[in-house]
Amino acid sequence: MAIITLPYRYLERLAGTDRQTIIDRVPMIGADIERIEEDHVDVEFFPDRPDLYSPEGVARAMRGFLGIEEGLPAYTVRPSGITFSVDPGLAGIRPYLGSAVIRNVNLDEEAIESLMALQEALHWAVGRGRGKVAIGVHDLDAITPPFRYIASPRSRSFVPLDFEREMTMEEMLADHPKGRDYAHLVEKFDRFPLIVDADDRVLSFPPIINGELTRVTSATKNILLDCTGTDQKAVMTAVNIICTALAEAGATIESVTVKGEEMPTLAPAERVVSVAECSSLLGLSLTGEEISRLLRRMRFGAEPDGDSRVRVLVPCYRSDILHDWDVFEDVAIAYGIENFDAVLPETSTVAQEHPIPAIAGAVRSVMIGLGYLEMMPFTLSNERVLYANMQREPAPGTLRVLHPISEEQTVVRTDLLPLLMEMLQANKHRELPQRLFAVGDVVEDCVTSQQAAAVSIHPAADFSEAYAAADVLCRELSLSYTVTESADPAFLDGRRGDIVVDGRIVGVFGEIHPAVLGAFDLEHPVAALALDLTAVPGYPALPGTP
Amino acid sequence: MELTLNEKRLLVALEATGSVDAAVLAEKMDARREAVVQYANLAGERGLVDVDKHVSRRYVPTEEGRAYMEKGLPERQVLESFEETIPMRDLQRHPLAKIAIGWMRKKGWIAIRDGVVEKTGRTAPGPDEAAFARLSESGAIEDGVGVGDLVKRGLAIEEETVAYTVSITPRGRELLSGGLDLREEVETLTREQILSGEWKDLPLRRYDVTKLPRRAYPGKTHPYQRIIDEMRRTLFDMGFEEMAGGIVQSSFWNFDALFQPQDHPAREMQDTFFLGERWPLPAGYERVRDMHEHGGETSSTGWGGTWSAAKAEQCVLRTHTTSLSIQHLASHPTPPVKAFCIGRVYRREAVDPTHLAEFEQLEGIVMDEGVNFRHLLGFLKEFYAKMGFEKVRFRPGYFPYTEPSVEPEVYVDGLGWVELGGAGIFREEVTAPFGIEHKVLAWGLGISRVAMLRLGLRDLRQLYRSDVEWVRETPTYGGRR
């Protein structure tokens, strides 16, 4: 999530209120206060509201929420007369460009830092790590329009930001820190995106790095903004958010002609919403007038359109408004979530236990009756524990996760017994006897099913104890079963049995093989059992499995 | 005063002599001396006898010491084996030469010059020999000069003897004179004793209630499972139906059906466990595709861009049980539906005390005619109150598949307001493709967090890789904090 630093002095000036009011009320527009410091507060905003990733954006929202300034913020855009061409050769590489000219900026060190922070937060939230959108700001007075966005040979060289010498773009991917971080976004292309001015001087190698030539400093008065990317809508979201934030700070915005089109317009989108739909979603009986008033506090333009509709103007920076309900959520926030009366609906329904947890509950009561203690081991395990330690072959349908995070958790368990053995190992220093059981999910071939397993460790644990427990469990679960000699290598030959139901082996019990005991570092005999619960009468097929 | 039979027998044995050594008493009572001392201590606590403990030391020869008892210490034996002088070479042939030569030199009995051993004439017996002589005569001695040297040489060892003298007190006498019932005490009643009524006349052994019993450990449900069961009961009480489903889900059900954009960060491999397997898309998946691309038939714009079927087919370990909720709604589109699920969900996180790659999530959904945002808050308040969180408040929240969304916070003593789960109304982009015509209230929370609060855990791993001792010692009831 994006954490935004809000300096009090700047914020107070922009918002027209004191810091305490802001700290108290900002959570109610959807934010978490992270840290309150001497001169600033760090606030985390949700990923759907990148328009709040700057002090200017927060001040704009707070002025409305606190009733200081309501309704749609007006932004005027004059044409700059500057044109920006886009090379058709970028089609498969990075085809979309958004641009604007921002004049009369007043950039002290704090303002530059805030602009860079906004850029980084947008790279993350809108740009998806610069792949979808990358943003560049340039000192307009250092360059000469018109500008060209081109697909350049990879060998083109220029001086990148923070370097003193010229490098080729290929060298930058290997040697510049930003090049190394973002090389994966472009290295597969034959040509690289490049922005140059009328004199063929380089502004930027998007999405990697700008040229040193156009570095923005506290002396910068006029800015050229470029946003390039693979998604037109996202590119324009970034342009609109940056332009309106700087306009809030006092700059003036001018449009640029990109491929014959004037941009940005910073114009709101219109949406006509239903009063009844809003009321029924929120459970309030609101009039069109009330809805409009609430929406204006959230900085929408809103006027009733007859009795049943409201004409809403959505600010250009509100990229989260996809659907009418998104507008209605803002009605709820302006109304105040704390002001809603919580009620329960009157419809009567009947509870219904699912058979799978019901069977697990039956296993629990039987095993507890036998003196066994329940364990709830992880479902992620590894082949050493599941197979090698148990002297067993890997189950053919074992699911391996593609990018495991540790060697301990590489596969989904296909069997519970090895995890109980691991549990005995972890509890070796605890008083004996220990009788442990578990009931839970196992997965094979993508199919989830349930299993019960139990282990008993003490100096006299033997085949008879395992057989007696397996017999009780089967009888209590209404399983009619027979037993045949087992060939499971985890158990001792001559002291192991398979539980057979309708000709299918559904379980195993007996004395654990001493070599397996050794693998789990255990020193006493273990009597054990495992039972596939799909054999239990009434076990349902799971929904959602193919 | 209720005496044990053994105490009574002890008093009787003391009647004649009044004061006697415990060993003698043991013989008289036909018991071990240690047992008699134990009875005497018990009776002593009641003031019926006095027990005096005497500790005495004596010295007895060791095995080596006993070997020299007849002929004297090795150095004396060797000294007497030759006249005034002897070549060293010859002396060394004596079987005790190894020990003796050293001692003879140490005691100044001999001098060695040019390989010849010569007596010095100062060979009178020292105190050690005197002590050894006494020891040889009596087999054991109390103490005396020279004994210490023998102990150091390993020829004698110290033995500590503890003797107990038991004397009856006047109170004991008084009790004795009143007459004592000396019949055998009964421990476990037999079937015959119960049936015959004989139990009425039997002296029953009394047990000491101040002594702790043997510690027994029952089989029991895991503390975490008890919290899960309590939540299930709460939801049953509120009229909910239970859902269950598979751990493995296609991205379609885990993300796409929930209107999570295909480039959402949660769908990258660093956050989610992807599997190599693929699942075919269900019939009617095109409506989900349309919703993503342009918002379908609703007022939504959708996410734009091109939706990839291949991306939707990739299997994952479910990241939330919402994937089950949407499938349940898709197959039960007629209101009312009130359903819940508690199941394990997976996040690709490095495991540490507060982060796990798998944990339990609870999720509830309500679909009905006319349900709205106030009902959502109503269900949340009711549910949290039943879970023991009386104070609940709501803040705006954000989840990709709900609108409006709220974050419930509960008040926990000592911690303040704690964020606990998320809630909202399913977006129309989620419900419309499956023909669900009514609003769906939904909420979810990670129950391992609740368990941590309730069980006072610092390390979440304790829930899944549990210490047997902790499970044994966590009470079955009343663990609520």
The per-residue pLDDT for range B354-376, each reduced to its tens digit, is 889 999 999 999 999 999 999 99
What is the mean predicted confidence (pLDDT) over B457-471?
93
CA angle (B441, B444, B450) in 5-degree steps: 145
Task: Give B 226-245 residues with CB within 8 A of chain A.
Answer: 229, 232, 235-245
Residues of chain A with Cβ-Cβ distance to B317 below 8 Å are 401, 412
Give, for A157, the enclosing helix (H) or strand (E): strand A157-158
Annotated binding-site residue? B322: yes
CA angle (B472, B475, B479) in 5-degree steps: 135
Residues of chain A with Cβ-Cβ distance to B249 below 8 Å are 544
Rounded CA-CA distance B359/B449 in Å is 9
SS3 A149: strand
* Domain A355-532 part of CATH 3.30.930.10: yes
Rounded CA-CA distance B343/B364 in Å is 12
What is the mean predicted confidence (pLDDT) over A288-316?
97
At B388 the pLDDT is: 87
The pLDDT confidence band at residue A425, using thresholds 50, 70 and 90, is: very high
Interface test with B, best of A230, A323, A333, A420 (most B CBs within 10 A): A323
- The pLDDT > 90 percentage for chain B reads 49
Rounded CA-CA distance A177/A192 in Å is 18
Cβ-proximal residues to B83 (8 Å cutoff; 6+ apart), any chain: none
Domain boundaries, given as residue ranges, for chain A: 2-66, 78-263, 269-336, 355-532
Rounded CA-CA distance A288/A278 in Å is 10
Cβ-nearest to A351 among B240, B277, B357: B240
Find the closest chain A residue to B467 by CA distance. A427
Rounded CA-CA distance A391/A385 in Å is 10
* CATH code of the region A269-336: 3.30.56.10
The pLDDT confidence band at residue B276, using thresholds 50, 70 and 90, is: very high
Per-residue pLDDT tens over the stretch A517-530: 999 999 999 999 99
At residue B8, does pLDDT exceed 90?
no
CA-derived radius of gyration, chain A: 33
Asked if residue A402 lies in contact with residue B273, where contact means CB atoms within 8 angstroms, the answer is yes
Cβ-nearest to B464 among A349, A377, A430: A377
Q: How far is A398 from chain B, CA to nearest CA, in Å?
A: 11
DSSP code for A397: T
Cβ-nearest to B396 among A29, A347, A431: A29
At residue A209, does pLDDT exceed 90?
yes
- Could you tell me the fold of the domain covering A2-66? Phenylalanyl-tRNA Synthetase; Chain B, domain 1 (3.30.56)
At A534 the pLDDT is: 95
Interface test with A, best of B220, B299, B367, B427 (most A CBs within 10 A): B299
CB contact under 8 A, B301 and A374: no
**Paired tokens of A536:** 């239990």
Residues of chain B with Cβ-Cβ distance to A370 below 8 Å are 219
Lowest-confidence region among A215-219, A507-511, B5-9, B456-460: B5-9
CB contact under 8 A, B276 and A283: no
SS3 A49: coil
CB contact under 8 A, A231 and B344: no
At A454 the pLDDT is: 98
ipTM of the predicted assembly exceeds 0.90:
yes
CB contact under 8 A, B246 and A545: yes
Asked if residue A499 lies in contact with residue A524, where contact means CB atoms within 8 angstroms, the answer is no
Asked if B139 has any chain A CB less than 8 Å from its own CB, the reply is: no
Long-range contacts, A344-347 (Cβ 8 Å, 24+): A344/B375, A344/B378, A344/B379, A344/B382, A345/B366, A345/B368, A345/B370, A345/B371, A345/B375, A345/B378, A347/B335, A347/B336, A347/B368, A347/B369
Per-residue pLDDT tens over the stretch B373-420: 999 999 999 999 998 899 999 999 999 999 999 999 999 888 888 889
Q: Are both A269-336 and A355-532 of the same fold?
A: no
Residues of chain B with Cβ-Cβ distance to A441 below 8 Å are 247, 344
Q: How far is A484 from chain B, CA to nearest CA, in Å?
A: 29
At A354 the pLDDT is: 95
Asked if B344 has any chain A CB less than 8 Å from its own CB, the reply is: yes
At B347 the pLDDT is: 93
State the average pLDDT for chain A.
94
Cβ-proximal residues to B353 (8 Å cutoff; 6+ apart), any chain: B458, B459, B460, B461
- Could you tell me the fold of the domain covering A78-263? Phenylalanyl-tRNA Synthetase; Chain B, domain 3 (3.50.40)
Burial (CB count <10 Å: 0-12, 13-18, 19+), residue B80: exposed
- A-B Cβ pairs (cutoff 8 Å, strict): 266
* Structural domains of chain B, ranges and CATH numbers in brackets: 1-58+140-208 (3.30.1370.240), 63-123 (1.10.10), 223-473 (3.30.930.10)
In this structure, chain A runs to a length of: 546
What is the mean predicted confidence (pLDDT) over B218-246?
95
H-only helix segments in A98-210: 109-125, 169-175, 177-182
Annotated binding-site residue? B80: no
Asked if residue A446 lies in contact with residue A458, where contact means CB atoms within 8 angstroms, the answer is no
SS3 A108: coil
At residue A535, does pLDDT exceed 80?
yes
Rounded CA-CA distance A150/B272 in Å is 37
Cβ-nearest to B300 among A29, A323, A353: A323
SS3 B206: coil
